[in-house]
Structure 1
Amino acid sequence: MTIHDDDPSSARRRPVLSFVRRSGRLDERLRRAWDRYSDRFLLDLSSHPGALDVRRGIRLDRAFVDRVWGVGVPLVVEIGTGQGENIAAAAGSHPDIGFLALEVYDPGVAHTLLLAGRDGLDNLRVAQVNAPELFAVADAGVVREVWTFFPDPWPKMRHHKRRLVQPALAGDVRRALGTGGMWRLATDIDDYALHVHQVMDGRAGFENLGGRTVSLPTEHVGKGTADEAEMLPHADFTESSRFAGRVLTNFERKGLEAGRTIHDFAYRAV
């Protein structure tokens, strides 16, 4: 399913990618799910099969949301849906809301399709595209909430520029959110939490709704130097309590078992 084919005259941004394309092999169960459910739940938004760029002329606008989910249905978008546990659970609990799962890796896409098909989640759709490119062509106010849970931390210092949360994406997310809309984020990496605060706190158009205080280093560390974080100067930052709408996935459970702190953020569009 396409959106619109009105080729915009403005040049398209090509941001630094926050992922590395991997050829994730599908086991027989996931291959069957892909073959069985892709026509029903997977949106065709890329330039050609196997590509992750957003096709020229695509717009994420109200007309598209109305056509896919129904007239006036609010839309929640998850960037980096992983195995799909969070968004599938939310779609099952809120049939009156439309959900769009954005994921680049084949196994995650296939598993989300499996959950959608198994549970008959007709309010859930999946798109295998680079999320910042889709938000770059999103109309104002088209999304109610954006979720970004446990994005790739890119721990090496030289790779921090690849982190998903960046000023350009924040600007596009703000435009896509209507006033009062929410960007909810979570990470189990302290240095990524500092990165989120630096990008988002005090940013025009967003209000940090956090109500709990956490202490974080005020300087970045990278892979191999994380042990030095405790020796760095610290400052207090404001974060949120755990988002009740986020299920406890195996990924988050492993982080907790490893002793990592879960950082939750809720930024409201103002």
Structure 2
Amino acid sequence: MPAMSHSLNSPHRPIRSFVLRQGRLTDAQGDLLQTLLPRYRIDPAAPWTHPWGDGRPLALEIGFGNGEHLAALAASRPGWGFIGAEVHGPGVGALLLRMRDEELHNIRILKDDVAPWLATLPDGCLQAIIIQFPDPWPKKRHHKRRLIQPGFAGTLGRLLAAGGELQLATDWEAYARHMLSILDAEPNLVNTAGPGHFASRPANRIPTRFERRGERLGQRSFDLVYRRG
């Protein structure tokens, strides 16, 4: 067995696009992580099956934060199935509170690194993928940690069904242009606003309180919308 220090410093250790930050977990959230999450959690090690088994359209939100946007979408489209991916416990707990209080049963949660799991999914299994305000990693030496990279863009394009939609948003212009250049180059994706152009905010994208606060401070949000050709 290799030494622990060797394992931690292995050159083959994948680069993650997130950092597990500490956050305040309320007693109610902690209780739901123990009692409710097992009922709605997706096991990333299990073979893929449709979570509802009825062929309903599936949408994935990567990095759902406190779940405000995902819960609103699920409430507005009860005939769809929504999968939310998030690694931060307080955010998952906040979503579980919304699911319990609003009686939302069309959400499943992946509380794990989403990239390895996505690589195991079959082609065309998702009708929509939503990525809102991913970590911009503004320092140049950290750009390799950005979620949107050519390989990951290829995975997103592969997973979308024909006509399916990829929606992204960021309030960092440099990251917006980084995403634009990478996604415009992905052959399975078509920029709905035209190559090199940002989109209008999609009608289904509900501004979260963090975005509304940013807008009050004069921060602009950039939307990108792609369809699977």
CA distance in structure 1 between the aligned counterparts of 2:97 and 2:110, rounded to whole angstroms: 14
Q: Do 1:145 and 1:181's aligned partners in 2 also have CA atoms closer than 8 Å? A: yes
Q: Which range moved further: 249-258 or 97-106? A: 249-258
Structure 2: which 5+ runs fail to align?
A: 1-11
1:244 counterpart = 2:203? yes
CA distance in structure 2 between the aligned counterparts of 1:120 and 1:27, rounded to whole angstroms: 20
Match of 1:78 in 2: 61
Match of 1:232 in 2: none
What pairs up with 1:82-101 in 2 under 5 angstroms?
A: 82-101=65-84
Q: Do 1:42 and 1:113's aligned partners in 2 also have CA atoms closer than 8 Å? A: no
Match of 1:195 in 2: 178
DSSP 3-state at the match of 1:132: helix
Q: Which range moved further: 97-106 or 198-207? A: 198-207
CA distance in structure 2 between the aligned counterparts of 1:176 and 1:39, rounded to whole angstroms: 26
Aligned-residue CA RMSD (Å): 1.7
- Return the letter of the residue paired with 1:29: A
Normalised TM-score (structure 2):
0.89
Match of 2:215 in 1: 256
CA distance in structure 2 between the aligned counterparts of 1:134 and 1:243, rounded to whole angstroms: 27
CA distance in structure 2 between the aligned counterparts of 1:257 and 1:147, rounded to whole angstroms: 24
- Return the letter of the residue paired with 2:174: D
* 4+ residue segments displaced more than 3 Å: none
Match of 1:153 in 2: 136
Q: What is the CA-CA distance between 1:177 and the residue it aligns to?
A: 0.9
Q: Do 1:138 and 1:172's aligned partners in 2 also have CA atoms closer than 8 Å? A: no
Normalised TM-score (structure 1):
0.76
Tell me the alpha carbon deviations over residues 99-158 of structure 1, each in whole angstroms, 9 at most, x when there is no partner.
000001111111111111111111111111111111111101111110001111111111
What pairs up with 1:96-115 in 2 under 5 angstroms?
A: 96-115=79-98
**Pair 1:40–1:118, CA change in 2 (3 A):** farther
CA distance in structure 2 between the aligned counterparts of 1:143 and 1:20, rounded to whole angstroms: 26
CA distance in structure 1 between the aligned counterparts of 2:197 and 2:22, rounded to whole angstroms: 39
Tell me the alpha carbon deviations over residues 43-84 of structure 1, each in whole angstroms, 9 at most, x when there is no partner.
233xxxxxxxxx3xx443xxx11xx22321110000001000
What pairs up with 1:39-50 in 2 under 5 angstroms?
A: 39-45=38-44
Tell me the alpha carbon deviations over residues 202-244 of structure 1, each in whole angstroms, 9 at most, x when there is no partner.
3211100016xxxxxxxxxxxxxxxxxxxxxxxx931111111
Structure 1: which 5+ runs fail to align?
A: 1-12, 46-54, 212-235
CA distance in structure 1 between the aligned counterparts of 2:90 and 2:102, rounded to whole angstroms: 18
Query: How many pairs were matched up?
Result: 218
